[in-house]
Structure 1
Protein backbone atom coordinates (compact mmCIF):
# COMPACT_ATOMS: atom_id res chain seq x y z
CA UNK A 1 0.00 0.00 0.00
CA UNK A 2 1.05 3.59 -0.59
CA UNK A 3 0.67 6.45 1.86
CA UNK A 4 1.87 10.03 2.11
CA UNK A 5 1.75 13.46 3.69
CA UNK A 6 -0.20 16.23 1.98
CA UNK A 7 1.13 19.72 2.61
CA UNK A 8 2.78 22.72 1.00
CA UNK A 9 6.34 22.84 2.39
CA UNK A 10 7.44 19.47 3.79
CA UNK A 11 11.22 19.36 3.67
CA UNK A 12 11.69 19.02 7.44
CA UNK A 13 8.94 16.46 8.09
CA UNK A 14 9.80 13.40 10.20
CA UNK A 15 6.70 11.54 8.98
CA UNK A 16 8.50 9.35 6.39
CA UNK A 17 11.03 8.29 9.03
CA UNK A 18 8.30 7.41 11.54
CA UNK A 19 6.10 5.52 9.11
CA UNK A 20 9.11 3.64 7.71
CA UNK A 21 9.81 2.45 11.27
CA UNK A 22 6.20 1.28 11.57
CA UNK A 23 6.46 -0.60 8.28
CA UNK A 24 9.67 -2.31 9.42
CA UNK A 25 7.95 -3.40 12.62
CA UNK A 26 5.03 -4.78 10.61
CA UNK A 27 7.31 -6.50 8.12
CA UNK A 28 5.49 -4.75 5.29
CA UNK A 29 6.66 -3.25 2.01
CA UNK A 30 4.30 -0.27 2.25
CA UNK A 31 5.67 3.15 1.32
CA UNK A 32 5.19 6.72 2.56
CA UNK A 33 6.10 9.84 0.60
CA UNK A 34 5.93 13.62 0.90
CA UNK A 35 3.20 15.13 -1.30
CA UNK A 36 3.77 18.85 -1.75
CA UNK A 37 0.76 20.49 -3.42
CA UNK A 38 -0.35 24.06 -4.11
CA UNK A 39 -3.74 25.16 -2.71
CA UNK A 40 -5.49 24.90 -6.07
CA UNK A 41 -4.42 21.22 -6.33
CA UNK A 42 -5.93 20.06 -3.04
CA UNK A 43 -9.50 19.46 -4.22
CA UNK A 44 -8.37 17.25 -7.10
CA UNK A 45 -5.99 15.34 -4.81
CA UNK A 46 -8.82 14.39 -2.45
CA UNK A 47 -11.46 13.81 -5.12
CA UNK A 48 -9.11 11.56 -7.09
CA UNK A 49 -8.37 9.42 -4.00
CA UNK A 50 -4.80 10.64 -3.70
CA UNK A 51 -3.90 9.22 -7.12
CA UNK A 52 -3.82 5.62 -5.93
CA UNK A 53 -2.96 6.06 -2.24
CA UNK A 54 -4.64 4.07 0.52
CA UNK A 55 -4.29 6.95 2.96
CA UNK A 56 -2.68 10.31 3.52
CA UNK A 57 -1.82 12.53 6.44
CA UNK A 58 -2.57 16.24 6.05
CA UNK A 59 -0.54 19.08 7.50
CA UNK A 60 -0.75 22.88 7.43
CA UNK A 61 -2.17 24.71 5.58
CA UNK A 62 -4.68 22.08 4.39
CA UNK A 63 -6.24 20.57 7.55
CA UNK A 64 -9.42 22.58 7.06
CA UNK A 65 -9.27 22.89 3.27
CA UNK A 66 -9.82 19.14 2.70
CA UNK A 67 -13.03 18.93 4.76
CA UNK A 68 -15.57 19.92 2.03
CA UNK A 69 -14.42 17.00 -0.14
CA UNK A 70 -14.94 14.24 2.44
CA UNK A 71 -17.70 11.65 2.41
CA UNK A 72 -17.43 11.10 6.16
CA UNK A 73 -15.70 12.84 9.06
CA UNK A 74 -14.92 11.31 12.45
CA UNK A 75 -16.60 12.91 15.49
CA UNK A 76 -13.39 14.30 17.02
CA UNK A 77 -12.32 15.84 13.71
CA UNK A 78 -15.76 17.41 13.24
CA UNK A 79 -15.67 18.95 16.71
CA UNK A 80 -12.14 20.27 16.19
CA UNK A 81 -12.84 21.53 12.68
CA UNK A 82 -9.59 20.05 11.33
CA UNK A 83 -8.55 16.81 9.63
CA UNK A 84 -5.02 15.41 9.56
CA UNK A 85 -5.69 11.90 8.24
CA UNK A 86 -7.48 10.79 5.06
CA UNK A 87 -8.59 7.22 4.37
CA UNK A 88 -9.39 6.55 0.73
CA UNK A 89 -12.07 3.83 0.62
CA UNK A 90 -14.41 2.45 -2.07
CA UNK A 91 -17.22 4.26 -0.23
CA UNK A 92 -15.50 7.65 -0.38
CA UNK A 93 -12.85 9.61 1.49
CA UNK A 94 -13.04 9.56 5.29
CA UNK A 95 -11.38 12.17 7.52
CA UNK A 96 -9.92 11.80 11.02
CA UNK A 97 -7.84 13.80 13.48
CA UNK A 98 -5.08 11.66 14.96
CA UNK A 99 -3.39 14.69 16.57
CA UNK A 100 -6.30 14.43 19.00
CA UNK A 101 -5.72 10.70 19.51
CA UNK A 102 -1.96 11.19 19.85
CA UNK A 103 -2.26 13.92 22.49
CA UNK A 104 -4.86 11.97 24.45
CA UNK A 105 -2.72 8.83 24.44
CA UNK A 106 0.32 10.86 25.49
CA UNK A 107 -1.46 12.21 28.56
CA UNK A 108 -2.57 8.72 29.50
CA UNK A 109 0.96 7.33 29.10
CA UNK A 110 2.39 10.17 31.23
CA UNK A 111 -0.26 9.71 33.93
CA UNK A 112 -1.54 13.28 33.55
CA UNK A 113 -5.25 13.75 34.26
CA UNK A 114 -7.27 16.81 33.21
CA UNK A 115 -10.58 15.90 34.82
CA UNK A 116 -11.69 18.55 37.28
CA UNK A 117 -8.46 20.52 36.84
CA UNK A 118 -7.79 24.18 36.01
CA UNK A 119 -5.94 24.05 32.67
CA UNK A 120 -4.02 26.75 30.79
CA UNK A 121 -3.20 26.30 27.10
CA UNK A 122 -0.50 28.50 25.59
CA UNK A 123 -1.25 29.42 21.98
CA UNK A 124 -4.20 29.15 19.62
CA UNK A 125 -2.73 27.75 16.39
CA UNK A 126 -3.63 24.57 14.54
CA UNK A 127 -2.09 22.28 17.16
CA UNK A 128 -4.04 24.02 19.92
CA UNK A 129 -7.35 22.98 18.38
CA UNK A 130 -6.73 19.26 18.87
CA UNK A 131 -5.25 19.85 22.33
CA UNK A 132 -8.23 21.94 23.43
CA UNK A 133 -10.67 19.29 22.23
CA UNK A 134 -8.95 16.73 24.46
CA UNK A 135 -9.08 19.25 27.32
CA UNK A 136 -12.84 19.62 26.80
CA UNK A 137 -13.52 15.91 26.38
CA UNK A 138 -11.47 15.07 29.47
CA UNK A 139 -13.68 17.40 31.49
CA UNK A 140 -11.27 20.08 32.67
CA UNK A 141 -12.80 22.27 35.38
CA UNK A 142 -11.70 25.52 33.74
CA UNK A 143 -9.81 26.48 30.60
CA UNK A 144 -7.63 29.53 30.04
CA UNK A 145 -6.16 30.14 26.57
CA UNK A 146 -3.27 32.59 26.30
CA UNK A 147 -2.71 34.39 23.01
CA UNK A 148 -0.84 37.38 21.66
CA UNK A 149 -4.01 38.26 19.71
CA UNK A 150 -7.09 37.27 21.75
CA UNK A 151 -9.70 38.53 19.28
CA UNK A 152 -8.13 36.57 16.42
CA UNK A 153 -7.90 33.57 18.74
CA UNK A 154 -11.63 33.73 19.48
CA UNK A 155 -12.31 33.68 15.74
CA UNK A 156 -10.06 30.69 15.06
CA UNK A 157 -11.34 28.71 18.06
CA UNK A 158 -15.07 29.09 17.43
CA UNK A 159 -15.64 25.32 17.36
CA UNK A 160 -14.10 24.94 20.81
CA UNK A 161 -15.65 28.03 22.39
CA UNK A 162 -19.11 26.89 21.30
CA UNK A 163 -18.57 23.78 23.44
CA UNK A 164 -16.87 25.59 26.32
CA UNK A 165 -18.33 29.10 26.49
CA UNK A 166 -16.81 29.40 29.98
CA UNK A 167 -13.27 29.23 28.53
CA UNK A 168 -11.27 32.44 28.87
CA UNK A 169 -9.07 33.82 26.08
CA UNK A 170 -6.53 36.26 27.48
CA UNK A 171 -3.37 38.14 26.65
CA UNK A 172 -0.26 36.62 28.20
CA UNK A 173 0.11 39.76 30.30
CA UNK A 174 -3.38 39.21 31.74
CA UNK A 175 -2.94 35.52 32.54
CA UNK A 176 -4.65 34.07 35.58
CA UNK A 177 -1.99 32.18 37.59
CA UNK A 178 -2.35 28.91 39.46
CA UNK A 179 -3.43 26.36 36.84
CA UNK A 180 -2.89 22.70 37.76
CA UNK A 181 -1.89 21.79 34.20
CA UNK A 182 -0.14 24.10 31.71
CA UNK A 183 0.18 23.03 28.06
CA UNK A 184 2.40 24.74 25.49
CA UNK A 185 1.19 24.46 21.89
CA UNK A 186 3.39 27.29 20.54
CA UNK A 187 6.74 26.76 18.74
CA UNK A 188 8.56 28.96 21.30
CA UNK A 189 11.59 27.06 22.60
CA UNK A 190 11.92 24.71 19.62
CA UNK A 191 15.39 23.92 18.27
CA UNK A 192 17.47 25.92 17.42
CA UNK A 193 16.04 28.73 19.62
CA UNK A 194 16.17 26.58 22.72
CA UNK A 195 16.61 29.30 25.34
CA UNK A 196 13.15 30.82 24.95
CA UNK A 197 9.91 30.12 26.81
CA UNK A 198 6.43 31.50 26.12
CA UNK A 199 5.94 32.29 29.82
CA UNK A 200 8.03 33.42 32.78
CA UNK A 201 9.95 30.88 34.86
CA UNK A 202 7.54 31.17 37.79
CA UNK A 203 4.35 30.72 35.75
CA UNK A 204 4.22 26.99 36.53
CA UNK A 205 4.80 27.40 40.28
CA UNK A 206 2.21 25.25 42.03
CA UNK A 207 1.30 23.36 38.85
CA UNK A 208 0.91 19.59 38.99
CA UNK A 209 2.01 19.07 35.39
CA UNK A 210 3.45 20.89 32.38
CA UNK A 211 3.16 19.55 28.84
CA UNK A 212 5.00 20.81 25.76
CA UNK A 213 4.11 19.49 22.31
CA UNK A 214 7.64 20.43 21.17
CA UNK A 215 9.88 17.33 21.00
CA UNK A 216 13.22 18.86 19.92
CA UNK A 217 14.92 19.63 22.29
CA UNK A 218 13.85 16.87 24.66
CA UNK A 219 13.49 19.42 27.48
CA UNK A 220 12.50 22.95 26.47
CA UNK A 221 13.12 25.98 28.68
CA UNK A 222 9.40 25.88 29.57
CA UNK A 223 9.66 22.26 30.77
CA UNK A 224 12.96 22.86 32.59
CA UNK A 225 11.38 25.72 34.53
CA UNK A 226 8.33 23.60 35.33
CA UNK A 227 10.48 20.69 36.51
CA UNK A 228 12.42 23.04 38.80
CA UNK A 229 9.06 24.25 40.13
CA UNK A 230 8.16 20.67 41.09
CA UNK A 231 5.75 19.84 38.25
CA UNK A 232 5.58 16.56 36.35
CA UNK A 233 6.72 17.26 32.77
CA UNK A 234 6.09 15.71 29.38
CA UNK A 235 7.39 16.66 25.93
CA UNK A 236 5.64 16.09 22.60
CA UNK A 237 7.57 13.13 21.20
CA UNK A 238 5.00 10.57 22.34
CA UNK A 239 2.24 12.60 20.65
CA UNK A 240 4.25 12.81 17.41
CA UNK A 241 4.70 9.05 17.20
CA UNK A 242 1.28 8.14 18.61
CA UNK A 243 -0.57 10.20 16.00
CA UNK A 244 1.36 8.39 13.25
CA UNK A 245 0.56 5.00 14.78
CA UNK A 246 -3.11 6.00 15.10
CA UNK A 247 -3.13 6.90 11.39
CA UNK A 248 -1.67 3.52 10.50
CA UNK A 249 -4.29 1.78 12.67
CA UNK A 250 -6.98 3.50 10.61
CA UNK A 251 -5.36 2.59 7.29
CA UNK A 252 -4.34 -0.95 8.26
CA UNK A 253 -7.71 -1.53 9.95
CA UNK A 254 -6.16 -3.12 13.04
CA UNK A 255 -4.68 -2.21 16.41
CA UNK A 256 -0.88 -2.04 16.57
CA UNK A 257 1.27 -3.09 19.51
CA UNK A 258 1.47 -0.33 22.19
CA UNK A 259 5.22 -1.02 22.56
CA UNK A 260 5.70 0.27 19.02
CA UNK A 261 5.42 3.89 20.24
CA UNK A 262 8.30 3.85 22.78
CA UNK A 263 10.41 1.77 20.37
CA UNK A 264 10.12 4.40 17.64
CA UNK A 265 10.62 7.21 20.17
CA UNK A 266 14.01 5.75 21.10
CA UNK A 267 15.01 5.63 17.43
CA UNK A 268 14.08 9.29 16.97
CA UNK A 269 15.59 10.63 20.18
CA UNK A 270 19.08 9.78 18.97
CA UNK A 271 18.72 12.46 16.28
CA UNK A 272 17.49 15.27 18.55
CA UNK A 273 19.25 17.96 20.57
CA UNK A 274 19.26 18.57 24.30
Structure 2
Protein backbone atom coordinates (compact mmCIF):
# COMPACT_ATOMS: atom_id res chain seq x y z
CA UNK A 1 0.00 0.00 0.00
CA UNK A 2 1.21 3.49 -0.79
CA UNK A 3 1.61 6.29 1.69
CA UNK A 4 -1.25 8.72 2.29
CA UNK A 5 -0.85 12.04 0.45
CA UNK A 6 1.61 14.42 2.13
CA UNK A 7 1.23 18.19 2.43
CA UNK A 8 3.13 20.94 4.25
CA UNK A 9 3.37 24.67 4.80
CA UNK A 10 6.81 26.17 4.13
CA UNK A 11 8.22 29.42 5.46
CA UNK A 12 10.39 31.05 8.07
CA UNK A 13 9.58 31.40 10.91
CA UNK A 14 6.93 28.70 10.67
CA UNK A 15 6.71 26.95 14.06
CA UNK A 16 3.63 28.89 15.19
CA UNK A 17 1.70 28.59 11.91
CA UNK A 18 -2.00 27.82 12.29
CA UNK A 19 -2.14 26.22 8.84
CA UNK A 20 -1.61 22.64 10.12
CA UNK A 21 -4.64 23.00 12.44
CA UNK A 22 -6.81 24.49 9.68
CA UNK A 23 -5.88 21.88 7.07
CA UNK A 24 -6.10 18.92 9.46
CA UNK A 25 -9.64 19.97 10.40
CA UNK A 26 -10.63 20.20 6.74
CA UNK A 27 -9.29 16.78 5.78
CA UNK A 28 -10.90 15.22 8.86
CA UNK A 29 -14.29 16.61 7.83
CA UNK A 30 -13.72 15.41 4.24
CA UNK A 31 -12.81 11.91 5.46
CA UNK A 32 -9.29 12.07 4.05
CA UNK A 33 -6.32 10.52 5.84
CA UNK A 34 -3.85 13.16 4.66
CA UNK A 35 -0.84 14.49 6.58
CA UNK A 36 0.03 18.20 6.79
CA UNK A 37 3.06 19.58 8.61
CA UNK A 38 4.99 22.84 9.04
CA UNK A 39 8.53 22.90 7.64
CA UNK A 40 11.09 25.68 8.11
CA UNK A 41 12.20 26.82 4.65
CA UNK A 42 14.25 29.54 2.97
CA UNK A 43 14.55 30.45 -0.69
CA UNK A 44 18.06 29.02 -0.89
CA UNK A 45 16.93 25.57 0.23
CA UNK A 46 13.68 25.50 -1.73
CA UNK A 47 14.90 24.09 -5.10
CA UNK A 48 16.55 21.05 -3.51
CA UNK A 49 13.53 20.50 -1.28
CA UNK A 50 11.12 20.47 -4.23
CA UNK A 51 13.39 18.16 -6.23
CA UNK A 52 13.50 15.67 -3.34
CA UNK A 53 9.73 15.24 -2.97
CA UNK A 54 8.49 11.73 -3.72
CA UNK A 55 5.23 10.62 -5.41
CA UNK A 56 3.31 10.74 -2.11
CA UNK A 57 3.57 14.55 -2.05
CA UNK A 58 0.37 16.30 -3.13
CA UNK A 59 1.02 19.96 -2.40
CA UNK A 60 2.55 22.80 -0.44
CA UNK A 61 1.33 26.00 1.18
CA UNK A 62 3.94 28.75 0.89
CA UNK A 63 4.36 31.75 3.14
CA UNK A 64 7.09 34.31 3.66
CA UNK A 65 9.85 34.37 2.59
CA UNK A 66 9.31 31.86 -0.24
CA UNK A 67 6.18 33.17 -2.03
CA UNK A 68 8.35 34.84 -4.68
CA UNK A 69 11.18 32.30 -4.67
CA UNK A 70 8.91 29.44 -5.76
CA UNK A 71 7.60 31.15 -8.92
CA UNK A 72 10.61 30.34 -11.21
CA UNK A 73 10.44 26.72 -10.02
CA UNK A 74 6.88 26.16 -11.30
CA UNK A 75 5.94 24.31 -14.50
CA UNK A 76 2.53 25.97 -14.74
CA UNK A 77 1.28 29.26 -13.32
CA UNK A 78 -2.36 30.02 -12.67
CA UNK A 79 -3.55 33.44 -13.89
CA UNK A 80 -3.39 34.72 -10.32
CA UNK A 81 0.35 33.91 -10.13
CA UNK A 82 1.11 35.45 -13.51
CA UNK A 83 -0.71 38.61 -12.48
CA UNK A 84 0.81 39.08 -9.01
CA UNK A 85 4.17 37.34 -9.32
CA UNK A 86 3.30 35.59 -6.05
CA UNK A 87 2.55 31.91 -5.40
CA UNK A 88 1.30 30.63 -2.05
CA UNK A 89 0.04 27.22 -3.23
CA UNK A 90 1.92 24.52 -5.13
CA UNK A 91 0.20 21.39 -6.44
CA UNK A 92 2.22 18.34 -7.47
CA UNK A 93 0.09 17.09 -10.36
CA UNK A 94 1.47 14.02 -12.13
CA UNK A 95 5.01 15.33 -12.09
CA UNK A 96 3.94 18.88 -12.97
CA UNK A 97 4.34 21.71 -10.44
CA UNK A 98 1.28 23.95 -10.70
CA UNK A 99 1.25 27.26 -8.83
CA UNK A 100 -1.72 29.27 -7.51
CA UNK A 101 -2.32 32.41 -5.47
CA UNK A 102 -5.22 31.88 -3.05
CA UNK A 103 -4.49 35.04 -1.02
CA UNK A 104 -6.65 37.09 -3.42
CA UNK A 105 -9.65 34.88 -2.65
CA UNK A 106 -8.84 35.09 1.05
CA UNK A 107 -8.91 38.89 1.04
CA UNK A 108 -12.12 39.11 -1.01
CA UNK A 109 -13.87 36.63 1.28
CA UNK A 110 -12.63 38.45 4.41
CA UNK A 111 -14.41 41.58 3.24
CA UNK A 112 -17.54 39.69 2.18
CA UNK A 113 -17.75 37.92 5.56
CA UNK A 114 -17.75 41.39 7.14
CA UNK A 115 -20.56 42.56 4.87
CA UNK A 116 -18.37 44.59 2.52
CA UNK A 117 -19.36 43.51 -1.00
CA UNK A 118 -17.77 46.29 -3.04
CA UNK A 119 -15.44 49.29 -2.85
CA UNK A 120 -14.35 52.15 -5.06
CA UNK A 121 -11.21 53.58 -3.42
CA UNK A 122 -8.61 51.73 -1.36
CA UNK A 123 -5.45 52.51 0.60
CA UNK A 124 -2.91 49.66 0.70
CA UNK A 125 -0.16 49.87 3.33
CA UNK A 126 3.07 48.02 2.58
CA UNK A 127 4.72 46.81 -0.61
CA UNK A 128 5.56 43.17 0.12
CA UNK A 129 4.23 39.94 -1.37
CA UNK A 130 0.73 40.45 0.01
CA UNK A 131 0.39 43.97 -1.42
CA UNK A 132 -0.04 42.80 -5.03
CA UNK A 133 -2.70 40.30 -3.91
CA UNK A 134 -4.48 43.08 -1.99
CA UNK A 135 -4.49 45.33 -5.06
CA UNK A 136 -5.93 42.59 -7.28
CA UNK A 137 -8.53 41.72 -4.63
CA UNK A 138 -9.57 45.36 -4.38
CA UNK A 139 -9.93 45.58 -8.16
CA UNK A 140 -12.05 42.41 -8.17
CA UNK A 141 -14.35 44.14 -5.68
CA UNK A 142 -14.76 47.16 -7.93
CA UNK A 143 -12.00 49.51 -6.79
CA UNK A 144 -10.96 52.02 -9.43
CA UNK A 145 -8.52 54.04 -7.29
CA UNK A 146 -5.74 52.49 -5.20
CA UNK A 147 -3.08 54.38 -3.25
CA UNK A 148 -0.14 52.33 -1.95
CA UNK A 149 1.87 53.67 0.99
CA UNK A 150 5.34 52.17 1.42
CA UNK A 151 8.58 52.94 3.22
CA UNK A 152 10.54 53.11 -0.05
CA UNK A 153 8.38 54.00 -3.09
CA UNK A 154 11.31 53.44 -5.48
CA UNK A 155 11.58 49.79 -4.38
CA UNK A 156 7.87 49.19 -4.96
CA UNK A 157 7.47 50.75 -8.39
CA UNK A 158 6.83 47.31 -9.88
CA UNK A 159 3.39 47.39 -8.23
CA UNK A 160 2.37 50.18 -10.61
CA UNK A 161 2.57 47.65 -13.47
CA UNK A 162 -0.70 46.23 -12.14
CA UNK A 163 -2.63 49.44 -12.88
CA UNK A 164 -3.05 49.07 -16.67
CA UNK A 165 -3.63 45.32 -16.35
CA UNK A 166 -6.43 45.88 -13.86
CA UNK A 167 -7.82 49.07 -15.39
CA UNK A 168 -7.38 51.12 -12.21
CA UNK A 169 -5.69 54.38 -11.18
CA UNK A 170 -2.77 53.77 -8.83
CA UNK A 171 -0.33 55.96 -6.95
CA UNK A 172 2.68 55.25 -4.74
CA UNK A 173 3.27 57.39 -1.64
CA UNK A 174 5.76 57.40 1.21
CA UNK A 175 4.47 55.72 4.36
CA UNK A 176 2.99 58.38 6.62
CA UNK A 177 1.75 60.63 3.82
CA UNK A 178 -1.59 61.98 5.05
CA UNK A 179 -4.82 60.77 3.52
CA UNK A 180 -6.78 63.72 2.13
CA UNK A 181 -10.09 61.86 2.00
CA UNK A 182 -11.43 58.64 3.42
CA UNK A 183 -11.05 55.59 1.14
CA UNK A 184 -13.74 52.91 1.32
CA UNK A 185 -11.17 50.51 2.77
CA UNK A 186 -7.65 50.49 4.18
CA UNK A 187 -5.71 47.25 3.75
CA UNK A 188 -2.60 46.88 5.90
CA UNK A 189 -0.20 44.21 4.59
CA UNK A 190 2.40 44.85 7.30
CA UNK A 191 3.18 41.43 8.88
CA UNK A 192 3.09 40.38 12.52
CA UNK A 193 1.32 43.48 13.75
CA UNK A 194 4.36 45.72 13.21
CA UNK A 195 3.75 49.45 13.54
CA UNK A 196 2.52 50.60 10.14
CA UNK A 197 3.73 54.15 10.77
CA UNK A 198 0.52 55.56 9.37
CA UNK A 199 -1.23 58.42 11.15
CA UNK A 200 -4.87 58.48 10.11
CA UNK A 201 -7.23 61.19 11.32
CA UNK A 202 -9.97 60.00 13.66
CA UNK A 203 -12.78 60.90 11.25
CA UNK A 204 -11.12 58.88 8.47
CA UNK A 205 -10.79 55.87 10.78
CA UNK A 206 -14.48 56.07 11.50
CA UNK A 207 -15.34 56.31 7.78
CA UNK A 208 -13.09 53.57 6.33
CA UNK A 209 -13.15 49.86 7.11
CA UNK A 210 -9.70 48.50 8.04
CA UNK A 211 -8.56 45.06 6.96
CA UNK A 212 -5.32 44.12 8.72
CA UNK A 213 -3.60 40.99 7.37
CA UNK A 214 -1.97 40.46 10.77
CA UNK A 215 -3.91 38.47 13.36
CA UNK A 216 -1.38 37.58 16.06
CA UNK A 217 -0.95 39.44 18.34
CA UNK A 218 -4.44 40.92 18.05
CA UNK A 219 -5.46 43.64 17.93
CA UNK A 220 -2.47 45.23 16.23
CA UNK A 221 -1.64 48.83 17.13
CA UNK A 222 -3.27 49.96 13.88
CA UNK A 223 -6.41 47.91 14.53
CA UNK A 224 -6.56 49.24 18.10
CA UNK A 225 -6.42 52.83 16.85
CA UNK A 226 -9.31 52.06 14.49
CA UNK A 227 -11.38 50.47 17.23
CA UNK A 228 -10.74 53.39 19.59
CA UNK A 229 -12.07 55.74 16.90
CA UNK A 230 -15.22 53.65 16.51
CA UNK A 231 -14.18 52.28 13.12
CA UNK A 232 -14.75 48.82 11.65
CA UNK A 233 -11.91 46.30 11.66
CA UNK A 234 -11.44 42.94 9.93
CA UNK A 235 -8.80 40.55 11.30
CA UNK A 236 -6.27 38.87 9.03
CA UNK A 237 -7.49 35.54 10.38
CA UNK A 238 -10.36 35.74 7.87
CA UNK A 239 -7.86 35.87 5.01
CA UNK A 240 -5.85 33.00 6.52
CA UNK A 241 -8.99 30.90 6.79
CA UNK A 242 -10.40 31.50 3.32
CA UNK A 243 -7.09 31.26 1.45
CA UNK A 244 -6.69 27.88 3.20
CA UNK A 245 -10.17 26.81 2.07
CA UNK A 246 -9.16 27.47 -1.54
CA UNK A 247 -5.89 25.59 -0.97
CA UNK A 248 -7.89 22.57 0.21
CA UNK A 249 -9.95 22.85 -2.99
CA UNK A 250 -6.73 22.84 -5.07
CA UNK A 251 -5.19 19.93 -3.16
CA UNK A 252 -8.33 17.76 -3.33
CA UNK A 253 -9.68 18.56 -6.82
CA UNK A 254 -6.81 20.23 -8.67
CA UNK A 255 -8.91 23.36 -9.26
CA UNK A 256 -9.33 26.49 -7.08
CA UNK A 257 -12.98 27.08 -8.03
CA UNK A 258 -14.31 23.57 -7.35
CA UNK A 259 -16.36 23.97 -4.17
CA UNK A 260 -15.73 21.34 -1.47
CA UNK A 261 -18.43 18.86 -0.46
CA UNK A 262 -20.43 20.53 2.34
CA UNK A 263 -17.98 23.44 2.29
CA UNK A 264 -19.82 25.42 4.99
CA UNK A 265 -19.30 22.54 7.43
CA UNK A 266 -15.62 22.31 6.45
CA UNK A 267 -15.19 26.04 7.16
CA UNK A 268 -16.98 25.72 10.51
CA UNK A 269 -14.64 22.90 11.53
CA UNK A 270 -11.59 24.91 10.45
CA UNK A 271 -12.74 27.87 12.55
CA UNK A 272 -13.36 25.63 15.55
CA UNK A 273 -9.90 24.06 15.23
CA UNK A 274 -8.22 27.40 15.96
CA UNK A 275 -10.81 28.67 18.41
CA UNK A 276 -12.32 31.32 16.14
CA UNK A 277 -16.07 31.83 15.90
CA UNK A 278 -17.96 32.90 12.80
CA UNK A 279 -16.82 36.31 11.55
CA UNK A 280 -13.88 38.31 12.86
CA UNK A 281 -14.97 41.86 12.17
CA UNK A 282 -15.14 44.29 15.06
**TM bracket, shorter-chain basis:** 0.7 to 0.9
Counterpart in the other structure of 2:143 = 140
| Cα distance, 1:268–1:198 mapped onto 2, change above 3 Å | farther
Do structure 1's residue 70 and structure 2's residue 74 form an aligned pair?
Answer: yes
Counterpart in the other structure of 1:242 = 242
CA deviation digits over 1:22-81, x for unaligned, max 9? Answer: 222223221012233453432243345566311111122222222223221111121010
Do structure 1's residue 175 and structure 2's residue 184 form an aligned pair?
Answer: no
CA deviation digits over 1:169-219, x for unaligned, max 9? Answer: 1113323332121111113636xxxxx564235253352411111112443
C-alpha separation between the residues in 1 aligned to 2:209 and 2:41? 39
Counterpart in the other structure of 1:184 = 188
Report the aligned-residue RMSD: 2.5
1:220-259 to structure 2, matched below 5 A, reads 220-253=220-253, 255-256=259-260, 257-259=263-265
| Cα distance, 1:50–1:198 mapped onto 2, change above 3 Å | farther
C-alpha separation between the residues in 2 aligned to 1:201 and 1:143? 16
Question: Which of structures 1 and 2 has the larger relative contact order (alpha carbons within 8 angstroms, sep 6+)?
Answer: 2
2:245 counterpart SS class:
helix
C-alpha separation between the residues in 2 aligned to 1:206 and 1:261? 30
Counterpart in the other structure of 1:15 = 19
1:86-235 to structure 2, matched below 5 A, reads 86-90=90-94, 92-115=96-119, 117-155=120-158, 157=159, 159-163=161-165, 166-177=169-180, 178-187=182-191, 189=193, 196=195, 198-200=197-199, 202=201, 204-235=204-235
Counterpart in the other structure of 1:56 = 60
Q: CA deviation at 1:231?
A: 3.1
Uncovered stretches (5+) of structure 2, i.e. residues with no partner? 277-282
3-12 or 118-127: bigger deviation: 3-12
Aligned residues: 263
Counterpart in the other structure of 1:45 = 49
2:50 counterpart SS class:
helix
Counterpart in the other structure of 1:264 = 270
| Cα distance, 1:64–1:221 mapped onto 2, change above 3 Å | closer
C-alpha separation between the residues in 1 aligned to 2:227 and 2:41? 41
Counterpart in the other structure of 2:279 = none
66-75 or 77-86: bigger deviation: 66-75
Counterpart in the other structure of 2:9 = 5
CA deviation digits over 1:86-130, x for unaligned, max 9? Answer: 111116111001111111111121121344x22101111112121
| Cα distance, 1:107–1:50 mapped onto 2, change above 3 Å | farther
> Would you say the 8 A contact 2:184–2:209 is kept in 1?
yes
> Would you say the 8 A contact 1:81–1:159 is kept in 2?
no
